[in-house]
Each structure stands twice: as structure tokens, then as C-alpha cells.
Amino acid sequence: MRNLRLPNRLLTTAAVAVSCLAAAGSFSHACSRTLWKSEGQPVLVGRTMDWTGKMGTKLQVMPRGIAREGMTDQNPLKWTSKYGSVVATIWDGATSDGINEAGLNANLLYLAETKYGDRDPTRPGLAVSLWAQYFLDNFATVAEAVKAADSFQVKPFELIHQGEPADAPVHLSLADASGDSAIIEIIDGKTRIHHGPQYNVMTNSPVYDQQLVLLKQYQGLGGKKPIPGTMDAEDRFARGAFYLTKLPKKPESYQEAVAGVLTVMRNMATPLGAVDPVKPNVSPTQWTTICDLKNKRYYFEFSRMPNVVWVDLDKLDLSEGASEQRFDLANDIEAAGEVSGKFRKCDPFIFQKAGTAVTWKPE
């Protein structure tokens, strides 16, 4: 398997030309994530999932007390879930997003520069399909999660996308009800962590250190350039950081606070149909979520549907021994509002094993 990479945006004209030529033979998908904490309102985390096609996304209830293993051939990490969660699954094989009953949120976003490194069987192994789920199962705060972030080795499964293989290169964000945040990347087999509430925006390439440098060139963020409007990851990063500063410091209501984060995410989203053959890292936004980390509420919307649904975790049975449950909004197009009553018992979710290829195909 190989990891397909997109080059970073460089600052010289010549380097940009080389970058555009190189990008024509590679791909990534694009996603965005923001965290916002305002006076009198809960911490809210928004994210978009951008990809060239549907991903079979469903909402899944994961109760406490589930025994899991890391889905690697050698020395898999083992644990039993301490916290119940609601997650968004993709390709019937991975958790990509979610919130647990303690108010911890996790999001997986694409990062073409990710390199997982050779397998070290002396370290517990964890398939990337379970990376977000591991943190949701085990931790209540970002600080707790960060302490464990380098105690195991993450290994990829293989995506076959537009006929090309890629080792599911992603990075991960965490947030909790206090507003704490962390961005975790795996570069050349080494774990890099940016930990603190100031890390409130995330997109894709380049790596996070470089994103922070690029951000300083824009008006309102340290520089003089106008806020960019393209669909490129570094431009969406700047746009998200800028628009967060424009939200009211004290929203008039809870509804306005949630809607405010949605306005930022929609400004970072990519329209349906926006597939650029010259810039294959540009992909349409397939869905958007908002996590309310205080009230344990999970909002979800498909871009192809005008209705927003949400789930209140306190209305779900997350107790040990309870059944896993699933809600498929794509097959319930009239659903809107709070949908905890629409989840139905289902078989236990099976995570994609490290080193295997995703076989899911759209119906």
C-alpha cells in the first residue's frame, strides 16, 4: 500500500507551479473543523466531511461496556468502553466523528502528509478505523486523551478511490466541554500533538505547523492579505479562523449560538458538484455535524437534504449490556429535529481491519 500525498502550498511562484503539476496526479478529501466557546453558551464543535461521493454514513449508538481490540494482526490494543457515544460511521467500517456521554468529541479529517511508519509489534496496534472510537470509549477530557495518544501505534486500512490506493491518511481532533482542544498528527511514524484551546480550527494539508504560519498573512489574523475565498484547505482554514472572530461574543440564545457555528461551517463548505480535475483535493461537502459538548447533543445534516436532525445522548440507552443501535437518515428523508426515538437495534459494528482494503460501494 502507498500513501498518496498532496504538496504543501509554497510561497514562491515557481514552487506554486510545481505544486499544481504534482497535485494533478494525487488526491485527498477535504474537511473542516471549528471549535467555538462564547459567553453563556456551551462549547460547540462544527465539522464538515468532504469527499467525492457518498460514504454510506449512518449514526450509531455505542453503549458502555463493549470489549474491543485494535484490529491489527500483531499485538492489538485491547480495552472495554468506559463511556457510551453516538458516532457517524463511514463505509460500514470506521468511526469518523462523534461525541461521548462525558462530552468529549473526536473528528477524523484527511491529511495527505500522514505517514504511519513501519509496524513495531512491541507496541499495541490500533487500526485507524478505531482511532476516534478509542478516545470516545475511554476518556472524558482532552487532557486525559492526550496522555494516552502516543501509547499505541495507529495503522491504516487501504482506500481505493477513483482507482487509486491510499493508506487512509488522516489526522484527528479532540475537544471537551471546557473548551480544551487537541490536534493529533502522525508524521514519519511520529505523533505530533498541538494541545490547547487556541487550536480551534482544522482543515487538511499542509501540516498543522505550516497552517498556523500561513494563517498569519491574512487581515484580522496578523497580516494584510484579504481573506481568501477558494476551496483549498489552507484558504478554508483562514476563512474559518476569521469568521469565528465575527460571531457574537454573547449570542442572544442557544439557537443563535448553534446557528452561528453552522454559518461558519457553511462558509468553509464546498458546494455539491464542485469536483475540480485540476485540483483533485477539492471535494463536495457530504455532511456537517455540530457537537454541543455541555448538553451532549449531536447535530447532523446531509448536504443533499434540507433537514437538520439531532440526538440528545441523555435520551439513549448507553448502559452496559444495551444493544448497539443505528439511524440511517439517508433512508428516512422526512426526519427532522430530535431523532433519538428513530434508532433501531442492530448488529455490533465491525471495524475495518488494518492492512485491508475498503470494499464498500454506493448502492
Catalytic machinery residues: 31
Residue 190 β-bridge partners: 187
- Which is it for strands 67-69 and 78-80: parallel, antiparallel or unpaired? antiparallel
For residue 322, give the DSSP letter.
P
Of 225, 229, 154, the closest CA to residue 193 belongs to 154
Please give the torsion angle defined by the CA atoms of residues 173, 178, 180 and 181, in that order, rounded to the nearest 10 degrees: 10
Judge whether 34 and 261 are in contact, CB under 8 Å. yes
Of 102, 85, 161, 159, the closest CA to residue 128 belongs to 159
CA dist., res. 113 & res. 257, Å (int): 34
CA dist., res. 54 & res. 126, Å (int): 26
CA dist., res. 312 & res. 299, Å (int): 9
Judge whether 313 and 296 are in contact, CB under 8 Å. yes
Residue 311 β-bridge partners: 298
> According to DSSP H, which parts of 83-141 are helical?
131-138
Residue 285 grid cell: 461537502
| Burial status of residue 53 (CB atoms within 10 A of its CB: 0-12, 13-18, 19 or more) | middle
Residue 30 grid cell: 477535504
CA dist., res. 27 & res. 2, Å (int): 13
Judge whether 352 and 156 are in contact, CB under 8 Å. no
| Burial status of residue 271 (CB atoms within 10 A of its CB: 0-12, 13-18, 19 or more) | exposed
* Close Cβ partners of 121 (under 8 Å, ≥ 6 residues apart): 74, 75
| Burial status of residue 332 (CB atoms within 10 A of its CB: 0-12, 13-18, 19 or more) | middle
